[in-house]
Chains A and B, each alone.
Chain A
Amino acid sequence: MMMIRIGIAVAVAACLALGLAVPWIKTTVIVGVCYALAALGVTVLLRAGQISFGHAMYAIIAGYTVGFLARAFPQLDGLVLIFAGTLSSLLAGAVIGLFVVRYRGIFFGMLNLAISMVLYSLASKLFDITGGSDGLRITRPALLGYEFERAGFESAMLVLTLVCALVLGWWVQRYFKSAAGEALAGVKTNETRLEYLGLSTYRILWNGYVLSAGLVGLSGSLFAVVQGLVTPELGYWLRSGEFVFIAILGGASHVLGAFLGTFVFECVRLVAAAFLTGVWQMLLGITLIVVILTAPSGIAGLLRLHTIRVARQTA
């Protein structure tokens, strides 16, 4: 337990130090943490054994909310924008979740995929409203009332993103250990028994779904504000696939899995960009296959980070 805490502290310090030392890398680190938050959202659903291939739609819902608000009210504070974006994705998740959580397995994934593709297509075509495939520009907002220059803004956003990651990571971990979180895991192992126990799996999964939507939405809002741009690509199914990829890579048994998975993902991308340009997708694919075949519980599983004590299976 102590090891984990020390590890987290070291990682956060490293991120900050890296941002200081190499100014242009701040945005990359922030984007990485955003990916981790989104993967965390997917991890919540993975615990229930459900994979959504369309969760990136909450990123664009949040991102475009930020874009529309920034366009209509340019003097809005950045924190207000991020909050509004996350809130919109929470609401959307609540509404969409109402009918999506009735499905299981492949159909759950397909329906999420379908809805995300509808939203993606609408965002790409409604040029007058959404800026089409060029997207919406978001001018740099003030943060907590201060107007930053570019470099200061990036540092402030880095700090903000790390804080969000820490707080939410801790909170989701507690959720996993709580009764609601354990029930969510129960949906995967034996749903019918849960029903027999008197719990509403519909309600349980809906809670998990809304949480996951909010996490992906937060990552989308942070991303939009930092980049100053939101495009439909943020909601394309490949992006959802990347989130799933990272979640599987890191492992669904512990919150840290999402962050570990993102770290490996970004490392592979950087290595590929530096030495083997043009094959980073291939490397990632190979990595995923190796992980799935040799370590199905992901990196977190390898490091034996459990929140559920699973009895060793014999034979």
Chain B
Amino acid sequence: MQASVVRVLIAVTAAFVFANCADAQGAKPVELKVGITTFTSGAASVFGVPAKAAAELWVEDFNAKGGLNGVKITPVFVDEGLGGEKFLSEYRRVVQDQGVKVMLASISSGDCNVVAPVAEDLKVIDIMWDCGTEKILEDKRYQYVFRTTSNAVTEMVAAAVHLLRVKPDFKTIAVVNQDYAWGRDSWEIFRNALLALKPDTRVVAELFPKFGAPDFSTEITRLQALKPDVIVSTAWGGDLDTFIRQANQRGLTKTSQFVLPLAESSLERLGKSIPDGVIVGMRGDAYFADPDFKSDAKIKAFVQKFHAKTGAYPIYPVSHVVQALQAVVDAYTVAIKANKGQWPGTDQVADAMRTLEFRALSRPIKIRADGQALQGQLLGVTKSVPELPFALIDQLTLVPADLVTTPVGQKSPEWVKTLKSDLVKSDRIKIVGTPVVTK
């Protein structure tokens, strides 16, 4: 019994070593398989399915233009809706069985948490293309894990700053967030930033309905009883849709100022169910109706193609997946050049990624030494317009990333407490372009 165990172990280790060697530099492969995890089932699918469509569209375009030195990209999709364990098994299978070298994972911060150490273990490049939790890159130095968009700190601190610019005199605030890593972590940052910038803020309720909750009636009743001046929610996807619809039906949106940092992704689906004057945002700075890019041909072409394919306008997960794909091909291009035309190994691509500067559907993005990208944050206020059946975001304000992101090497919980209230008045925070409605 023991001999066979030892033999099994030796054989397996040998096979593993050989498999790893094969990954090193060498001839051009037939195709580059890129794994992309997204929600294609469940409440979050309204968020994840457009991203899948965008990835397919972008890859088609890219391959048609010649690909990566002639190598075509093949996307492999994994459904995050499978849930923690099944998703992890699928992730492993895709990497080990299908030989995927680059994974774009994930939307859910919970899934990102689970997958990052596994990716490092399996030595596969893992790009957190959408999730926001800042803890992953702060708690540990990773060689293969990156994020190509802004993280929770950039977003939530910018949201706090923007709230104070728009409504500086509120007294009480309540939060309704999804009960998982993102919901909990994002509130922690927002609350600490707010308390640092305006210490007399009073938090009257902290509600965490479960991820995918179909009904928010009780939470809304509770909020009506408490009557906070501001209600903040970092919910997204089907959850946010249901919450806003129900809150609007019962008049809560009129009695409290809602702050919804991720609501850009729900605006088209909500249509008339969201009133004017709600503070909304997205993660990052890519908005399909950004006045700065009104005449940018490349961006306009993409928006039109996306609308033709899906019947809807791009939401921010769309720009995130495009950013991630752009970063991957740019990193490969840099690595190929550094490798004098030879196909690079995973380590070389990771090195190229670490100091990459690239641009996708908005302003330039830079990845810094810890793997975190610096991307500005856009926030604004809802305004209905006659040309569209849903609200646009008006008075877009751009907050530069370096003002509101934890510096490399520091921990966010401590850094956020050092924020000073004059940050709100910084003159580097600007309104973008001209207002949407000029009347």
Contact = CB atoms under 8 A, between A and B. Distances in A.
A155 B12 contact: yes
Contacts of A31: 89
Interface stretch (A1-9, A66-74, A126-134, A207-215): A126-134
Contact of A124 (B5, B8, B181, B210): B210
A124 B16 CA distance: 37
A132 B179 contact: yes
Contact of A149 (B16, B114, B118): B16
Determine the main DSSP class of A at the interface with B: helix
Nearest to B16: A151
A127 B209 CA distance: 12
B400 interface: no
Nearest to A16: B8
Q: Which of B12, B110, B117, B208 has the most CB atoms of chain A within a 10 A radius of its CB?
A: B12
Contacts of A104: none
Interface string A133-175: 1110101100000000111100110010000000000000000
Interface in B150-189: 179-181, 184
Given A133-B180, A139-B117, A229-B84, A23 B96 contact: yes
A86 to B, nearest CB: 19
B15 interface: yes
B337 interface: no
Give chain B's interface residue range (CB within 8 Å of chain A). Answer: 20 to 34
A117 B96 CA distance: 35
Give chain A's interface residue range (CB within 8 Å of chain B). Answer: 20 to 34
Nearest to A21: B15
B12 A134 contact: no
B179 A229 contact: no
B16 A28 contact: no
B85 A152 contact: no
B300 interface: no
Q: Which of B9, B85, B88, B89 has the most CB atoms of chain A within a 10 A radius of its CB?
A: B85
B92 interface: yes
Nearest to A156: B9
A240 to B, nearest CB: 16
Nearest to A155: B12
B251 interface: no
Contact of B180 (A16, A134, A150, A234): A134
Interface string A21-42: 0111001100100000000000
Contacts of B8: 16, 20, 155, 159
A26 to B, nearest CB: 9
A133 B109 CA distance: 12
Contact of A134 (B84, B89, B96): B84
A125 interface: yes
B184 A133 contact: no
A156 B83 CA distance: 26
Interface string B1-26: 00001001101110110000000000
A134 B114 contact: yes
Contacts of B83: 231, 233
Interface string B239-280: 000000000000000000000000000000000000000000
B84 A135 contact: yes
B422 interface: no
Nearest to A125: B179
B298 to A, nearest CB: 36
Given A27-B92, A228-B118, A229-B85, A127 B9 contact: no
Given A20-B8, A20-B12, A227 B85 contact: yes
A259 to B, nearest CB: 20
B211 interface: yes
A150 B121 contact: yes
A22 B85 CA distance: 20
Given A27-B89, A132-B180, A133-B180, A231 B84 contact: yes
Contact of B9 (A133, A140, A155): A155
B96 A24 contact: yes
Contacts of B92: 24, 27
B323 to A, nearest CB: 25
Nearest to B108: A134
A136 B83 CA distance: 14
A231 B84 CA distance: 7
B110 A133 contact: yes
A159 B5 contact: yes
Contacts of B181: 132, 134
12 contacts: A23-B15, A124-B179, A127-B208, A133-B84, A133-B179, A133-B210, A134-B84, A134-B181, A137-B113, A137-B117, A139-B117, A155-B8
In the complex, the 9 A-B pairs of residues with the closest C-beta atoms, listed nearest first: A134-B110, A24-B96, A231-B84, A151-B16, A24-B97, A155-B12, A24-B93, A134-B181, A134-B180
Given A133-B180, A134-B114, 7 more contacts: A149-B16, A152-B9, A155-B12, A227-B85, A228-B88, A228-B117, A231-B83
